[in-house]
Structure 1
Amino acid sequence: MPRFKLSFGLIILLTCYSVFPVKAQVFEKTPELHGDIVVFPITLINAYPFISATVNGVTGKFMFDTGFGTSITINDNFVNLPDKRMKGTGVVASGQSFKTSINDTIREIRFTNGITYRNLEKINSGNYGFLQKHIAPDFLGYIGHQFFKDYLFKLDYLHRKVTFYKNSPERSISKDFLANEKVLAVIDFEIRKLANHPLVKIKIDGIAILGAFDTGQNGLLQLDLPSAKALKSRGSVMYSGTDSGGDTLLSVKNIIIEGKFKTALKGVELADLDDTQVVRRELGITEPNLLDIGYRFFSQYKTVWDYDKQKIYILEY
C-alpha cells in the first residue's frame, strides 16, 4: 500500500488571539463571502489551516485550501446527508480518490465569527474519510477559491487568522490591508489553467524551479536528477529527517522568488515526478523542477494574496 502523503492542495472533481468583531449575518442559498473586511479565526492542524463551523448542527472544521477551486464542499462521511445525489468521483493531489455528490438539503452552515448561511442549494459533498483518519477526525470539508473570489486576503499563521478584503478601486489605491505592516517583497505571479493557483519563478542556487503557492499542503520539492545532484553538492538542498509517515524531509536554502526575495525552508517534503503528476497535468506545469510553497513558508511570513492584481505581498511577522 502506498505511503500516505499529506499533500492535498489541489482538488480535482472529475464529473487566544484577537480578531476584529464581525456582525452576525445570515445569507441564503449560496455560500459566498459578503462584507468589506471579514476575519475568520483559524486553527492549525498538521500544517493545515482550519476554520471552525457547524453544518446542520454538526460541529467541526473546514480546511481553508486555496488549492480547492469551488466554494464550500462538505465531508459527507462526517455530516449525514441522506438525500445527496451522486455526481462523480474526484482525486486529491496525493492520489486519494473519493466519491462526489450534490446536495440541496444544507439547512445551515454557521461560523464562529457569526456569519451564517441557510437553505443552501447545489452544495458539493465528498467522501473524505481518509482526511478524517489522517488529519482531523472532525473534518467538515473544504473552503476554497469561489468562497472569496471577489476578495484579497491576508494569511497570518502567527496570530491564527485570515482576513478578507473586498476588492475595490479605492482599496487598490489605499492598500489598507498593508496598514502597520512591514512589506518584505511584492511578488508577481502567473495563472495558467486554474485561477486559484498562483505560480512563480524561483531559483535555488541558480537552478530554475517553478513555485506554486497553496495553503492545502506542507511544502514539497521535486527535482530532476541533474538539478538534485547539483543542489546537493552545493549544500543548498540537504536531508533534515523524516516525518511521522516516513517521508523524507529537506532543508532548502538560497531560494530566490521572482528575483526579489531570498529565503530558506526547513522540513520540506521530498517528492518525485510521480508524486506531482496530478498537479502538473491540472496546472499546466511542464518545467522539470517544482517547489510547492505551503506551511513551511507561511509559518515564517504573513502573506497577502491579491488574485485580481496577481500579486502576493510577503510581510514580516
Structure 2
Amino acid sequence: MIKIIFSFSFLIISNVLCAQNLEKSAIENEFRLTGDSISFPLTIVNAFPFISGEVNGVKGKFMFDTGHQGALAINNNIVPLSSQKAHGNGFVASGQQFEKYTNDTIDDVRLVNGLHFQNLKQIPSANYDFLQDNITPDCIGYIGYDFFKGYTFKLDYAKRKLTFYKHTQERESSKDFLAGEKVLAILDFEIRNLPNIPMIKVKVDDVEMLGLFDTGGSYGLLEFTDKDSEKLVKRKFLKEYGKDGYDEDLFVLNKVRISNQFTTDFIGIHKIEESSQFKKAIGVAEDNLLILSYRFLSKYKTVWDYDHKKIYVLEY
C-alpha cells in the first residue's frame, strides 16, 4: 500500500460531463462560505489540516485540501449514503483510485464553528478508505477550493486556525488580513489547468523547479530528474533525513530560493519517483517539482489571495 498521500484529486472524464457541470454549480450555490470573515479551528494529523464536522449525524473530520477543486466530497466508507449514482472514476496524485458517485440530497452538514447546511444537492462521494488507513480513521471527506472561492484565507498552523476574508473593494485597499503581521515575502503565483493550484518558480543552486502550494501535500514532496538529483546530493543541498512513521524515506532540501525573494530549508520531506498522470492533469511540463505543504506551512503563516494571485508569507 502507498503510504505517502498527496491529495490533489481528479475526475477521469467519462460520458457524464453534463452531470459534472451540474454538480459543480449546485455545490457552489449551496455548500459555500457566506459572511465577511469566518474562522475555523484546525486539527493537524500527520501533517494534514482537518476541520471537524458531521454529515447526517456522523461525526468526524474533513481534510482541508486546497488541491481538491470541489467544495465538498464525502467518504462513503464512513457515512451511509442511500441515493448514490455512479459518476465516473477518480484518483489522487499519489496514485490511489476510486469510483465516484453523486448524491441527490445530503440532508445535513455541520462544521465545528457552527456553520450548518441542509438539503445539499448533487454532492460527490467516494470510498476514501486510504485516508482512513493512512491518516485518520474518522476522515469523513474533503473540503476544497469551491467552498471558499471569492475569499482570501490566512493559514496559521501554530495557532491551529484558519480564517477566511471575503473579497471586497474596501478590503482590497485596507488589507486588514495583514494587520499586525510582519510580511516576509509576497509571492506572485500562476494558475494553469486548475484554478485551485498556485504555482511559483523555485531554485536550488542552479537547479530550477516548479513549486506547487497544497495543504493536502503531506510533509512536502520532491521530484527531480536523476541528473539533477545526483547534482544536488553531490553539492550537499539534498540529503537523506531518516524515516517517517510508515518507514518511508525523508529528505532535507537546503537553500531553496522561492520566487527569487527569500531562501528557506525543507527538513523532512518525501521524494517521489514519477508523477506523469498528475502532471498532465494540472498542466505541468517541468521535470522538477517541489510541493510546498506542511514543512513550509508550519514554518510560516501564509495568506492565500487567489483573486490577485498572491501568497503572503508572514513571520510567526
Alignment partners' CA distance in 2, 1:290 and 1:29 = 34
TM norm structure 2: 0.93
Distance (whole Å) between structure 1 residues aligned to residue 260 and residue 190 of structure 2: 15
Distance 1:145 1:62 in 2: 13
Could you tell me which amino acid in structure 2 is paired with residue 295 of structure 1?
A: Y
- Mapped contact 1:38–1:163 kept (Cα < 8 A): yes
Look up the SS of the partner of 2:4 in the other structure: coil
* Cα deviations by residue, 1:228-264 (Å, 9 ceiling, x for unpaired): 1111111111110122223221111110111001110
Question: Residue type of the partner of 1:234?
Answer: R
- Superposed displacement of residue 225, structure 1: 1.5
Distance 2:303 2:234 in 1: 35
Q: Who is 1:13 aligned against?
A: 11
Alignment of structure 1 residues 90-239 onto 2, 5 Å: 90-218=90-218, 219-239=220-240
1:12 deviates by: 0.3
Q: How many equivalent pairs are there?
A: 302
**1:157-191 deviation digits (Å, cap 9, x = unpaired):** 00001100001121111000000111000000000
Which residue is equivalent to 1:240? 241
Q: Distance in 2 between matches of 1:198 and 1:3?
A: 25
Unaligned regions of 5+ residues in structure 1, if any?
16-27
Maintained 8 Å contact 1:222/1:289: yes
1:21 matched residue in structure 2:
none
Distance 1:137 1:125, change over 3 A: same
- Counterpart of 1:297, as a letter, is F
- Distance in 1, matches of 2:263 and 2:124, equals 40
Among all aligned residue pairs of Structure 1 and Structure 2, give the percentage whose two residues are the same amino acid: 47
Answering whether residue 267 of structure 2 is matched by residue 280 of structure 1, we say: no
Q: Are the aligned partners of 1:29 and 1:119 in contact in 2 as well (CA < 8 Å)?
A: no
Q: Which amino acid aligns with 1:233?
A: K
Name the amino acid aligned to 2:4: K
Cα distance in 2 between the residues matched to 1:169 and 1:279? 36
Distance 2:200 2:267 in 1: 20
Mapped to 2, the partners of 1:29 and 1:187 lie a distance apart of: 30
The equivalent of 1:24 in structure 2 is none
State how far apart, in whole Å, the 1-side matches of 2:310 and 2:159 are: 22
Q: Is 1:271 the equivalent of 2:272?
A: yes
Q: Distance in 1 between matches of 2:179 and 2:29?
A: 35
Q: Deviations over 1:261-314 (max 9, x none)?
A: 111010010111x2x223211111111110011101011000000000000000
Partner in structure 2 of residue 307 of structure 1:
306
Counterpart check, 1:296 vs 2:295: yes
Partner of 1:261: 262
Q: CA deviation at 1:145?
A: 0.4
> Which whole-Å deviations, capped at 9, do the CAs of 1:62-106 have from their partners, x for residues lacking one?
000000000001111110001111111110101111111111231
Gaps of 5+ in 2: 15-27
| Distance of 2:277 and 2:53 partners within structure 1 | 30
Return closer, same or farther for 1:29/1:271 CA change in 2, 3 Å cut-off.
closer
Greater Cα shift, 127-136 or 34-43 = 127-136
Where 1:89 maps in the other structure, the secondary structure is: strand
Report the equivalent of 2:20. Answer: none
Give me the whole-angstrom Cα distance separating, in 2, the residues matched to 1:197 and 1:87: 24
Q: Please, what is the CA RMSD of the aligned residues?
A: 1.4
Moved over 6 A (4+): none
Deviation at 1:29? 7.1
